[in-house]
Amino acid sequence: MRNKRCKTEKLDDLEGLQGSTSQGLIEEKLEVSLNKDTCSHPGSFGQMCILCGQRVDDESSVTFGYIHKGLRLGNDEIVRLRSTDMKNLLRHKKLYLVLDLDHTLLNSTQLNHLTAEEEYLKGQSDSLQDVSKGSLFMLEFMQMMTKLRPFVRTFLKEASEMFEMYIYTMGDRPYALEMAKLLDPKKEYFNGRVISRDDGTQKHQKGLDVVLGQDSAVVILDDTENAWTKHKDNLILMERYHFFASSCRQFGFDCKSLSQLKSDESEPDGALASILKILRQIHHIFFDELDSDLASRDVRQVLKTVRKEVLKNCKIVFSRVFPTKFQPENHLLWKMAEQLGATCSTETDSSVTHIVSMDAGTEKSRWAVKENKFLVHPRWIEAANFFWQKQPEENFPVSQTKNQ
């Protein structure tokens, strides 16, 4: 009897680990097999089965330390939990959203990296007593300053109605938890679903193996494509938020940062507001427009469909954008344009809508002007890629190079 009570207590402990409405660990207890001989060892703490207490070999299991320190779950149990969680989430008309921190939702800098032009920020930082009203915070105990991206609070509030959200950062765990406090002071959105580099299974890589959601229902927002080599089809690539000068320097930009310009992204027209519209569209298509059975739908296909609408009906010819003798169809910009729904060609004809060039003096550029076609800088494609929306061509003019 004592043995049975002990196992029940262990299950109760696990139930309290995470307060999510849909997390499989809470909604449905781990499969209980109270007979030691038939226990499936679904998970372990410190190499002891969480059900029967037997010592287990957990080499084939995955660590879920962000849920509870030392917790490991076996592959069968992960599959079962994901399936249970998925059914529950779909019932609530929700998907999963995995959010990067740095350059996506916020920008941080060490205090000793502030330039002389940024010293004014120290006098403008907001109170840590009620972080929900602020956006610029001086965390002296970490020797750090953090600026939340404009629109982030509205973004999180509205996204939480459509998605169960995770934070996933390459920062360490103490940093991740401090950032979560700034973004979610009332613990309404993430509820312990905060994953740091300490929780990943691969160095310098992020993976969905530590997310208790099925890949077919996960959308990822991140500014670094290379972090998600196995999950690029789930990814919405974010335009980087460079508020501090140190952030510009880190990525090799020789320009003034937003803080040095005493400026910031627009709330209504910035990156997060634009992406929120895309997330609404993805959510709507997934739940309201697809004919297939709900459980068999795949958000990755929805992402591809939405992307292909961005430059639909555009026929693009590139002019001196690629190195000589380079196969144009292998170039990143060519592939990007095709993923956005454009048709790419190497030859001009009457069906061409856009010439993409960095020099207005090339033969094809002059042809575009003469034939009244759009002549745009390559950044026009990159901007469409970031905002998932065709951008005004006049905002991406092409100038003539000096040696013409």
Domain containing residue 281: CATH number: 3.40.50.1000
Decide which of 279, 302, 325 is a domain's last residue: 302
Decide which of 259, 279, 302 is a domain's last residue: 302
Calculate the CA dihedral of residues 357, 359, 363, 366 and round it to 10 degrees: 90
Sheet order of strands, 106-110 included:
106-110, 144-148, 136-139
Q: From CA 231, how far away is CA 184, in angstroms rounded?
A: 26
Q: Is residue 59 part of a domain?
A: no
Domain identity same for 283 and 324: no
The pLDDT of residue 27 is 37
pLDDT band at 200 (very low <50, low <70, confident <90, very high): confident
Q: From CA 40, how far away is CA 34, in angstroms rounded?
A: 10
Q: What φ, ψ does residue 32 adopt, rounded to 5°? A: -100, 125
pLDDT digits (tens, 9 = 90+) for 72-86: 898 888 999 999 999
Q: From CA 109, how far away is CA 132, in angstroms rounded?
A: 20
Q: Is residue 73 part of a domain?
A: no
Rg of the chain, C-alpha, whole Å: 25
The pLDDT of residue 37 is 57
Domain identity same for 249 and 317: no
Q: Is residue 42 part of a domain?
A: no
The answer to whether residues 145 and 107 touch, using CB atoms and an 8 Å cutoff, is no
For residue 140, the tally of other CB atoms under 10 A from its CB is 11
The pLDDT of residue 188 is 95
The pLDDT of residue 394 is 96
The pLDDT of residue 216 is 96
The pLDDT of residue 54 is 87
Over residues 208-224, mean pLDDT: 95
Domain identity same for 291 and 328: no
Residue 26 vs residue 388, higher pLDDT: 388
Average pLDDT of the chain is 89
* Domain tally, the chain: 2
Decide which of 273, 302, 331 is a domain's last residue: 302
The pLDDT of residue 204 is 86
Structure tokens at 152: 């982030």
The pLDDT of residue 402 is 58
Q: Is residue 44 part of a domain?
A: no
Over residues 117-133, mean pLDDT: 94
The answer to whether residues 75 and 91 touch, using CB atoms and an 8 Å cutoff, is no
The pLDDT of residue 264 is 97
Domain identity same for 253 and 374: no
Confidence check: pLDDT of 240 > 90: yes
Helix axes 271-284, 152-159, angle to 10 degrees: 10
Confidence check: pLDDT of 260 > 50: yes
Confidence check: pLDDT of 26 > 50: no
Domain identity same for 245 and 333: no
> By C-alpha distance, which of 265, 266, 335 is closest to 307?
335
Confidence check: pLDDT of 10 > 50: no
Domain identity same for 180 and 292: yes
The pLDDT of residue 291 is 86
Q: Is residue 231 part of a domain?
A: yes
Domain identity same for 293 and 331: no
pLDDT digits (tens, 9 = 90+) for 267-315: 999 999 999 999 999 999 999 998 889 889 999 999 999 999 999 999 9
Domain identity same for 136 and 272: yes
Domain identity same for 147 and 273: yes
Domain identity same for 325 and 354: yes
Q: Is residue 385 part of a domain?
A: yes
- Partners of 99 in the β-ladder: 167, 221
The pLDDT of residue 277 is 95
Q: From CA 357, how far away is CA 376, in angstroms rounded?
A: 6
Q: Is residue 64 part of a domain?
A: no
The pLDDT of residue 69 is 85
Over residues 38-54, mean pLDDT: 85
pLDDT band at 41 (very low <50, low <70, confident <90, very high): confident
Over residues 212-216, mean pLDDT: 93
Domain identity same for 294 and 338: no
pLDDT digits (tens, 9 = 90+) for 150-178: 999 999 999 999 999 999 999 999 999 99
Q: Which of 3-7, 87-91, 97-101 has the highest mean pLDDT?
A: 97-101
pLDDT digits (tens, 9 = 90+) for 319-346: 999 988 889 999 999 999 999 999 999 9
Q: From CA 16, how far away is CA 191, in angstroms rounded?
A: 12
The pLDDT of residue 403 is 53
Domain identity same for 283 and 184: yes
Q: From CA 3, how far away is CA 65, in angstroms rounded?
A: 26
Q: From CA 233, how far away is CA 208, in angstroms rounded?
A: 12
The pLDDT of residue 134 is 94
> By C-alpha distance, which of 153, 164, 155 is closest to 273?
155
> By C-alpha distance, which of 156, 120, 154, 153 is closest to 138?
120
The pLDDT of residue 220 is 98
Structural domain boundaries, residue 114:
93-302
Q: Is residue 3 part of a domain?
A: no
Q: From CA 216, how far away is CA 222, in angstroms rounded?
A: 18
